[in-house]
């Protein structure tokens, strides 16, 4: 079902891209912005390794994984981006991977022949995980026709800001999902987890206990 959902998302992306091209500002170049992790590259092998170690995430393990540049592609992602290239739509990879992960990330994208896999189009996290400043910079010269990601903050920082009612913001932007925003499923991790946890430096057992308490039942 996960594979089917990613194909479905990128099939919608193709249709939406064609619609967006009809009204795009001809004074600017066209582009799509994609996140990388769980949007175009699949990191489930790293998640499997962490589970076997009994942890949910370890930064050292993550950086060892990204340095290898061997993540497989998310089903449908490559086909969609090559489709976009046929219409002279450039691809920007806006990711919260860090600067020292650049070489492994670029190697991974080039390994599969992703379009625009170069220094100008691979934009990593240099100062903040908020992607809005990076999107704004791209917007100066490009029409951003579509944004693809597995996290709401991949689309707009109205979902990123603290003390925001994310559910309310999603309802307000419902007309954009499937037309301007293409959401990929990520059952492994995400910002949604943070809502469960109170306290700092929690052990995995403590996180599990808090998740259990947060479950809705009848």
pLDDT at 189 over 80: no
pLDDT at 160 over 90: no
pLDDT at 150 over 90: yes
More confident residue, 41 or 127: 41
pLDDT at 161 over 70: no
The band of 186, judged by pLDDT with boundaries at 50, 70 and 90, is confident
Convert the pLDDT of each residue in 12-29 to its tens digit: 999 999 999 999 999 999
pLDDT at 165 over 80: no
The band of 10, judged by pLDDT with boundaries at 50, 70 and 90, is very high
pLDDT of residue 212: 79
pLDDT at 129 over 70: yes
Lowest mean pLDDT among 45-49, 92-96, 148-152, 188-192: 188-192
Average model confidence (pLDDT) for the chain? 92
The band of 162, judged by pLDDT with boundaries at 50, 70 and 90, is low
Q: Which two tokens stand for residue 175?
A: 């007309």
How distant, in Å, are the alpha carbons of 65, 106, 212, 214 from that of 121?
22, 10, 41, 40
Convert the pLDDT of each residue in 203-214 to its tens digit: 878 887 887 787
| Strand duo 41-42 + 72-73: pairing | antiparallel
Q: What is the CA radius of gyration of the chain?
A: 18
Please tell me the number of Cα atoms within 13 Å of 146 on its side-chain side: 29
d(CA 100, CA 95) in angstroms, rounded, equals 13
Average pLDDT over residues 167-174: 93
């Amino acid at each position: 079902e996960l594979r089917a959902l990613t194909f479905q998302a990128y099939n919608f992306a193709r249709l939406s891209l064609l619609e967006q091209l009809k009204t795009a500002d001809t004074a600017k170049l066209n582009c799509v912005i994609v996140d990388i992790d769980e949007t175009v590259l699949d990191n489930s092998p790293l998640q499997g390794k962490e589970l076997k170690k009994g942890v949910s995430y370890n930064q050292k393990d993550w950086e060892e994984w990204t340095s290898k540049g061997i993540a497989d592609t998310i089903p449908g992602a490559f086909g969609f981006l090559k489709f976009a290239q046929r219409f002279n739509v450039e691809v920007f990879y806006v990711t919260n991977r860090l600067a020292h992960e650049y070489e492994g990330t670029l190697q991974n994208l080039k390994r599969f022949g992703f379009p625009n896999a170069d220094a100008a189009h691979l934009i990593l996290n240099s100062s903040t995980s908020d992607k809005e400043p990076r999107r704004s910079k791209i917007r100066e010269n490009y029409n951003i026709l579509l944004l693809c990601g597995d996290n709401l903050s991949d689309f707009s920082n109205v979902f990123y800001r603290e003390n925001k009612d994310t559910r309310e913001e999603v309802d307000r932007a419902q007309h954009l999902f499937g037309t301007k925003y293409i959401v990929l499923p990520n059952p492994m991790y995400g910002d949604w987890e943070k809502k469960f946890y109170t306290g700092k430096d929690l052990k995995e057992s403590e996180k599990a206990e808090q998740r259990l308490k947060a479950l809705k039942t009848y």
